[in-house]
Structure 1
């Protein structure tokens, strides 16, 4: 079966739940690498944007990030060049990408418990492939969706909705795991509860205020507290 195509039922015909994972900053330690890559891309284009502002936009796809940082009156014809510069600068880090502590074990634990494991990332296909290689947990990943699969990236709900489609489950049968306000907002707009991670540099208070139902330091902490988390519960019954 193509890894991007999924069935919505177990072999006995019953519905199963899905855990939808953001990747950048949630499973792989890339949030600040993206910050530096965007800062360098802006500098190459003679644009000065403070790293603190850039960091707060990481988690958005480039479509929303450039609008957020440069505003609607920017020269939009330069967006493609800025995005390409960021991609090239970030690609220099690919050989050194590392999963966050416990990330691969968390995916395996969710898989063993019967959840469908779906990656839902604002990254483009090439970047997503590099991060999946760093994760080294392909056997536990049931489906993948990225920025190239949707018209609008996070904080729009499109990625979460596409991930639900590929998992073959309804919103009330899923949980999203992400590290930024943009993840929480995208999940909420799709009707999916979101578990927050502090590994992307956002604070616990910020993620909770955005609507995260639980917040953990990193994948390792969630893994250690899995039995007490929302992921210990079976998905909600199928609604009529």
Structure 2
């Protein structure tokens, strides 16, 4: 693993759900059931479009503001319980581990920036199976506001000890692109989370690839070249 001098250090900040692990549709179903249990009828297509956003923001977008903290917490906790039933069946998106290791070999400080809770992130990292390439990880338990707020990206920059101009984000949702842009970090987007290329480009993605394997195959001509 290459170790560049501090002034040349750069960080690859990478989302997890949908980007490195094929989990977005499991989240969608878990949210759907959590809303159903709480008495809300929410379409799965509306949920899927918000995956990648923090749980609190997702709930408010889908059922509106004004609900008690207890009601919102009940929905969030139900989602966590339901999603946890998938932990042992989570699988990486093709090329996930290989991409992380390739970036680490090229001297990138690889930091995960996930909206997941701690227990979920443990399961997601186990599915990726590339901890040897990961410098650090930030999750929703460490910040006040999740995506599309910039807090997770800012926390990842602190973990990597690099300025925004020495970082690049890789994600799969418009919320990834937006949160990175709010800190001045460009974002390369993947289609593995189920969001269309046009939406990602419109949000400001620097480039769009199919999967981590596709990005790895084109790494030398991508925004992460070098």
Task: Tell me the TM-score normalized by structure 2.
Answer: 0.97
Q: Is the 8 A contact 1:60 1:154 kept in 2?
A: yes
Q: TM-score w.r.t. structure 1 length?
A: 0.91
Confirm or deny: 8 A CA contact 1:15 1:169 kept in the other structure: no
Match of 2:27 in 1: 34
From 163, 169, 174, the equivalent of 1:170 is: 163
List runs of 5+ in structure 1 lacking aligned partners.
1-9, 234-240
The residue aligned with 1:132 is: 125
After superposition, the C-alpha distances for 1:166-210 in whole angstroms (9 at most, x for unaligned) are 000000000000000000000000110000011111100000000
SS of structure 2 residue aligned to 1:20: strand
- The equivalent position to 1:66 in structure 2, one of 59, 64, 70, is 59
SS in 2 for 1:24: coil
Matches within 5 A, 1:100-179: 100-179=93-172
RMSD between aligned alpha carbons?
A: 1.0
CA distance in structure 1 between the aligned counterparts of 2:67 and 2:117, rounded to whole angstroms: 23
Asked whether 1:213 is paired with 2:195, we answer no
Cα displacement (A) at 1:11? 6.9
Is residue 202 from structure 1 mapped to residue 202 from structure 2 by the alignment?
Answer: no
Matched pairs, number: 224
Asked if 1:78 is matched to 2:71, the reply is yes
- Residue 15, structure 1, aligned to residue 16, structure 2: no
CA distance in 1, matches of 2:6, 2:187: 27
